[in-house]
Amino acid sequence: MTSEDQKRVVIKIGSSSLTSLSGDISRRKMERLTDQVVQLKDQGHEVVLVSSGAVAAGYRTLGFVSRPSSLPEKQAAAAVGQGRLIESYAELFSSHGYAASQILITRSDFSDETRYNNVRNTINVLLERGIVPIVNENDTVTTDRLRFGDNDTLSAKVAGLVASDQLIILSDIDGLYNADPRKDPSAELLKEVTEITEDIEDMAGEPGSAVGTGGMRSKIDAFKISMASGIPSFLGRSGVHNILIDAVNEEARGTYFEVKEPELNLNHKRQWIAFNSGPEGEILIQDDAKTAIIDDKENLHPSQIYQVNGYFKKGSVVRILDLNKNKLGLGMVNYSSTDLKNFQRENEEQSDSTVAVVHSESFVCELEVAIPIGV
Ligand SMILES: Nc1ncnc2c1ncn2[C@@H]1O[C@H](COP(=O)(O)OP(=O)(O)O)[C@@H](O)[C@H]1O
Ligand SMILES: N[C@@H](CCC(=O)OP(=O)(O)O)C(=O)O
């Protein structure tokens, strides 16, 4: 957005923020949240919602007394519930003069760079036209292997995709505590996090409610992605009065995840490589090439390759490993695996050619180590 006071904000609303104690969608809770989104839009902010709730909105119609646990049952529930969820959002927004739109995404949509960029273009047009994009995982078609699985990481990836100014994740808890508050009543709220260290990761426990999927762990994974993408983020409790308005103004109670080194932010291309690409093969590099590639950010040349594993095309993303198979990073290759294997056989006669532009992905390297592909 142009004005400093007007932000582009991605807001993730978890199932627990939309449901009553019985697990059913609560119209009152939806109304409270959409009212605040309307206020934000009236103030000139652009808002993208990433909303869970499809399974919660559908399972009772299928005759389940509680949220089902098997994948096909959840998918069937989502097939009924997603339509209802969007219908409710559409009604609530239209009563304030805004239109809602539905965007359903699978991981394979994001692992294809063209489709990934296409989603961005679509959302940008919707925002330009004043529509509220409402994103959810396309639950009905995903398989276990291809699922985001939780909307926390999806929301962080969407925030990066649309170059959001802020990511707000609402939950049933008012932020990140230094221990799971259900197990440790003396746990304290962290008001600011500037780096996701192992200690921070260890604080996360399992989901709190019967309807939640990801728990604090997936929220922390999400904040790793948003922080690496340069997006200040916030975690707070959805039931708090005016939480969204206050969070946008950075006045709400909760945990703020700050971006301290904006110069290290991943650009769009690197975000895609780091978090969405799905590497297709691996290149083991010689030990003496490590410093040049990782620290000095030089390109990878054929003479520095020890071994090429798997089959990949020119333009694929591959894992770069050391001789002990430790992950060093991800790189986009300029040659296919067949070409690279041929170069090696031909005694590296092409040693001047650049194999992979790893140098520009050196920060991705660190992230790859920290965040397994597919979080
Ligand atoms: N360190 C922690 N700080 C805060 N909450 C935690 C922590 N560890 C585990 N939790 C639990 O995570 C829950 C939120 O995750 P989840 O149930 O998946 O909600 P949502 O539906 O909003 O995604 C909280 O209710 C809390 O019980
Ligand atoms: N896509 C699923 C929700 C998955 C999910 O992340 O749920 P939650 O942990 O409540 O945010 C649905 O709409 O029911």
Task: Say which range, 135-144, 202-211, 229-238, has the weakest mean pLDDT.
Answer: 202-211
Ligand 2 atom 2, closest CA: 52
Ligand 1 centroid – CA 185 distance (Å): 14
User: What is residue 370's predicted lDDT score, i.e. its pLDDT?
Assistant: 29
Please provide the size of the chain in residues: 375
Q: What single DSSP character describes residue 291? A: I
CB 344 within 8 A of CB 308: yes
Q: Ligand 1 centre from 130 Cα, in Å?
A: 32
Q: What is the pLDDT of residue 268?
A: 79
How far apart are alpha carbons 254 and 243 in whole angstroms?
9
Rounded CA separation 338/261 (Å): 39
Quick one: which ligand is closest to 59's CA?
A: 2
> Any idea which ligand is nearest the CA of 169?
1
β-strand 281-285 against 233-237: which pairing, if any? unpaired
According to the model, what pLDDT value does residue 208 have? 54
Query: Pick the residue with more confidence: 327 or 369?
Result: 327
Q: How far is CA 239 from CA 16, 131, 199, 300, in A?
A: 10, 25, 28, 51
pTM of the complete model: 0.86
308-327: average pLDDT: 89
Query: What digits encode the pLDDT tens for the residues 271-304?
Result: 888 888 888 899 998 888 887 777 766 777 777 8
Q: What is the mean pLDDT of residues 199-220?
A: 74
pLDDT at residue 270, as a whole number: 79
Q: How far apart are CA 208 and CA 214, in angstroms?
A: 9
State the Cα torsion 161-163-165-168 to the nearest 10°: 0
pLDDT > 70: percent of the chain: 87
Q: Which of 3, 52, 43, 21 is nearest to 244 (CA)?
A: 43
- pLDDT number for residue 212: 53
Q: Given the CA of residue 52, which atom of ligand 2 is nearest to it?
A: 13
d(CA 148, ligand 2 centre) in Å: 10
117 belongs to an annotated ligand binding site:
no
Domains along the sequence of the chain with CATH: 8-269 (3.40.1160.10), 279-370 (2.30.130.10)
User: How far, in Å, is the centroid of ligand 2 from the Cα of 40?
Assistant: 24
Q: How confident is the model at residue 23 (pLDDT cuts 50, 70, 90)?
A: confident
What confidence tier does 167 reach under pLDDT thresholds 50, 70, 90?
Answer: very high
Lowest mean pLDDT among 4-8, 111-115, 196-200, 365-369: 365-369
41/167 Cα distance (integer angstroms): 16
Residue 340 has pLDDT above 90, yes or no: no
Cβ atoms of residues 217 and 363 within 8 Å: no
- Report the distance separating Cα 338 and Cα 344, nearest Å: 10
Task: Check whether 12 is labelled as a binding-site residue.
Answer: yes
Annotated binding-site residue? 138: no
pLDDT band for position 203 (50/70/90)? confident
Going by C-beta distance under 8 Å and a sequence separation of 6 or more, which residues neighbour residue 81? 25, 53, 54, 55, 56, 57, 58, 59, 61
Mutate to test the pocket of ligand 1, among 150, 180, 197 (most ligand atoms within 8 A of CB): 180
pLDDT at 357 over 70: no
Question: Is the model's pLDDT at 211 over the cut of 60?
Answer: no
d(CA 111, CA 174): 33
Nearest ligand 1 atom, CA 216: 12
Helices 113-128 and 151-161 sit at what angle, rounded to 10 degrees?
A: 80
Q: What is the pLDDT of residue 363?
A: 37
Percentage above 90 pLDDT, the chain: 53
Of the listed ranges 111-120, 195-204, 244-253, 287-296, the least confidently predicted one is 287-296
Which residue in the block uniquely carries the two structure tokens 């095309």? 313
Q: Whose C-alpha lies nearest to ligand 2, atom 7?
A: 213
Q: 147 exposed, middle or buried (CB, 10 Å; 0-12, 13-18, 19+)?
A: middle
Report the pLDDT averaged over residues 104-118: 92
Nearest Cα residue to 14 out of 4, 28, 29, 3: 29
Examine the pLDDT at 126 and tell me if it is beyond 90: yes
Q: Give the per-residue pLDDT at 308.
A: 93
Counting ligand 2 atoms within 8 A of each CB, the residue from 12, 29, 49, 55 with the most, and so the one to mutate, is 55
- Which tokens in the block code for residue 167? 């990511």
Residue 364 has pLDDT above 50, yes or no: no
Ramachandran sector of residue 191 (left: φ over 0; alpha: ψ -120 to 50; beta: rest): alpha
Between vectors from CA 136 to CA 48 and to CA 69, what angle results, nearest 5°?
A: 145
For the CA of 170, the closest atom of ligand 1 is: 22
Tokens of 209: 């409610």
Q: CA 7, CA 99: separation in Å to the nearest integer?
A: 19
Mutational pocket test of ligand 1: of 216, 219, 221, 238, the residue with most ligand atoms within 8 Å of the beta carbon: 216
In 3D space, the residue among 324, 325, 314, 309 whose CA is nearest the CA of residue 356 turns out to be: 314
Prediction ipTM score: 0.96
pLDDT given at position 94: 97
More confident: 120 or 358? 120
What pLDDT does 183 receive?
86
- Which of 55-59, 211-215, 230-234, 367-371 shows the lowest per-residue confidence on average (mean pLDDT)? 367-371
Cα 323 to ligand 1 centre (Å): 39
371: confidence class by pLDDT, cuts 50, 70, 90: very low
Q: CA-to-CA distance for 176 and 200, rounded, in angstroms?
A: 9
